[in-house]
Amino acid sequence: MTQDERLAFLVEAYRQETGRGEEIPVPLAAEGRRRLLRALMNVRPPRPLTPKVAAVEAAYLAERTREKGVVRPEDIPTIRTALGNGGPFADRLSLWRGDITRLAADAVVNAANEEMLGCFIPLHSCIDNAIHSAAGTALRLECARQMEALRRCRGPSYVQPTAVPLITGACALPARAVIHIVGPIVRGALTPAHEETLAACYRNVLSLCNRRGLRTVAFCCLSTGVFRFPRRRAAAIAVRTVTDWLANHSGAMDRVIFDVFTEEDEICYEKTLRTC
């Protein structure tokens, strides 16, 4: 199949799976069809695909990854090179403004919600949606299976606690693993408890990487989107927590990447990383 044929096949398969496929118009332009496929994947419940659909989806997403271009940790300058930082961790920290789904790190970090199933809002701009869309429907299914196993042990109402990471495979992403974590939600004024919980997110992810032998990790900006953690303070906590952890775990990580999406976040991290 060509990539256009894969796209057409997947759109039709997922349209028909909804049970109301004829009601869903298919755009003529390729970009519109890609957006429709993503939307259909976003709302799809966690259930297995047929072997043929799974194979076509895997091939389609692999080609999308190739088109976007894979970025390896060693392709990203360290803060020693990029920012002139001469500190003790300058060769192990990086700041990168780009698409986290392109990174071939050992692990990428997903800002998840407590259900751990990804974002069901079609085409939503959150990192949870971006990661699940690029990884494919197998990622939601793996998350669901892990959550079902946890509910069998801890009760049917179990949801993932804040700052407790859950690790999965990366499916169609170029990374080796995805670490999903729920950050603190700020309702009203920022408190010391919010700050400590955010710091725990970074510590717990790094400790999990250390246990699993994952030596490169890319963090997104945890809790700064719809969870409303102030961006500048979140950047300061992230950098301080990571450098403190590295100081206490000599040689444990080869590279920690702070991946940002907006110019505002990039400025916040640059200011903090220049002097860390």
- pLDDT averaged per 10 residues in sequence order, the chain, 276 residues: 97 93 91 98 97 98 97 98 94 97 98 97 97 98 98 96 98 98 95 97 98 98 91 97 97 97 95 92
pLDDT of residue 227: 85
- What was the pLDDT predicted at 240? 98
Nearest to 42 by CA among 20, 14, 61, 7: 14
pLDDT, position 19: 87
Contact 110, 128 (CB under 8 A): yes
Spatial neighbors of 233 by CB under 8 A, at least 6 apart, are 190, 195
> Among 63, 44, 51, 50, which Cα is nearest to 4's?
63
pTM for the whole structure = 0.96
Distance of alpha carbon 241 from alpha carbon 263, whole angstroms:
22
